[in-house]
Amino acid sequence: MTGLPLAPMARMAGRRLLYAVPVLLAVTFGVFAIAAASPFDPVKAYAGTAGFSASQEALDQLRDSLGADDPFVTRWWDWLTGVVTGDLGESTSMRQPVADVIGERIGWTVLLCAVAFAVAIVAGTLLGVLAARRRGGLLDRAVTSVAYALEAAPPFWLGLLAVWLFALQLDALPAGGLTDTGTDVVSFGQVAEHVLLPASVLAVSQMPWFVLYVRQGVGDALDEDPVRGARSRGLAERTVLLGHALRSGLLPVLTLIGTRVPELITGALLIETVFSWPGIAAATVEAATSVDFPLLAALTVLATAAVLLGNLLSDLLYGLADPRVGFDG
């Protein structure tokens, strides 16, 4: 890895970091504003079912104690000043500090997303290349039409379908959770078995984009001069396909990696809910419906950061793969 243009890459990362600050500020402010405008009442959400039998006095006390009547700008400012001093605040819906809520969940979400994303990229690329090799062939038509169908299918629907088929009908894989119901030990085998179904569903829901992009890129590249040249030099078809066509056909996929991150996160939220996966998704839903400002803001910052990082990563990769682009963005 010599000759890596580290300095321009670092400059680009630094610029993006500076740029991220106003974005994050605006996003958190927006989250507070939207949550405040939502019809959900933080007091009722906090009280839950106990709220139905709670006395008015208890509810008023709760409202006061939760600061539910403070204007959202005040709450945003309090939150922000807290965060600057390293205090993420306390989650009212989880009855825990926000840092704890996120700390004990994020690992599982990252695991789910990483596995799914890797599978989607690898399998998507593979299928895309196969489809591009003979455009209009049987395989191409099958792969393309399934990809379009899957592109239109919402992830939670795919999730329910997968639970129905693999867990209920075939009884081949567990329907949800991190480990078997009867056991507490989080062993590698247990987690691997339990992550398989949700990660596959998430991967399948992301794969169509990769398949179609790769198919298009590689297919176009196969028609270009360098490939024709390579063929005329008598290179093996395999070398032509992987060494020439795939190499230039992959460029759009690098961009895609960055732009799929938001989609991956929302997909993961739905998948986690369907599969009772103990990640941050359930917390996000709970935080939103409970108007749990500190938790909601922290989760939004995380999601925004993931999106910005995804973009940065794809720009860096693109710059590396195609030096003409450079690192000026």
Partner 1 sequence: MSVRGIRAAVSVTAAAAVLAGAAACSNPDADDDSGGSGGDGATAVIGVSTEPDTLSPLLGYGKDGNSKLFDGLLARTADMELRPALARALPEITDDGTTYTYKLRDGVTFSDGEPFTAADVVFTYETILDPGTNNPSKGDLEAVDSVEAEGDDTVVFRLKYPYAAFAERTVLPIAPEHAAGKGDVNTGPFNTEPIGTGPYVLDNWRKGEKLTFSANPGYWGGKPKVAKLTMAVIADDDIRATRLRSGDLDGAILPPNLAKTFAEDDDKQTVAATTFDHRAVTLPTDNPVTGDLAIRRALDVAVDRDAMVDKLLEGRGKAAYGPVPTDSEWFAQGTERPYDTARAEKILDDAGWRAGDGGIREKDGQRASFTLYYPSGDKLRQEHALAFAGDAKKVGIEAKVESGTWEVIEPRMGEDAVLAGGGSPADPDFDLYPMLNSELAGQGFNNMASYENPDVDTALAEGRESGDKAERKRAYDKVQQELTENPGYIFLTHIDHIYVVADTWRGLTTQVEPHEHGFGSGPWWNVESWQPAP
Q: Exactly one of 12, 121, 158, 218 binds partner 1 (CB under 8 A); which one?
A: 121
* Sites for partner 1 among residues 44-103 (CB under 8 A): 44, 46-59, 61-62, 64-66, 90-97
Least Å distance between CB 187 and partner 1? 8
Output phi, psi for 235, to 5 deg. Answer: -70, 155
Question: Does residue 171 bind partner 1 (CB under 8 A)?
Answer: yes
Least Å distance between CB 161 and partner 1? 14
- What stretch of H or E contains 127? helix 98-133
Amino acid at 329: G
91: three-class secondary structure by DSSP: strand
Q: Exactly one of 196, 235, 309, 313 binds partner 1 (CB under 8 A); which one?
A: 196
Question: Does residue 177 bind partner 1 (CB under 8 A)?
Answer: yes
- CB atoms closer than 10 angstroms to residue 301: 18
Distances (CA, A) of 149 to 185, 205, 210, 212, 228: 39, 10, 14, 12, 33
Question: Does residue 190 bind partner 1 (CB under 8 A)?
Answer: yes
56: three-class secondary structure by DSSP: helix
Which window, 78-86, 141-149, 167-175, 227-235, contacts partner 1 (CB under 8 A)?
Answer: 167-175
Q: What would the two tokens of residue 208 be? A: 């169509």
Question: Does residue 214 bind partner 1 (CB under 8 A)?
Answer: no
> In this structure, are residues 207 and 264 in contact, taking their beta carbons and an 8 Å threshold?
no
Question: Does residue 255 bind partner 1 (CB under 8 A)?
Answer: no
Amino acid at 114: A
Binding site for partner 1 (CB under 8 A): 1, 4, 39-41, 44, 46-59, 61-62, 64-66, 90-97, 115, 118-119, 121-122, 125, 163, 167-168, 171, 175-178, 180-185, 188-190, 192-193, 195-196, 247, 250, 276, 278, 282-283, 317, 320-321
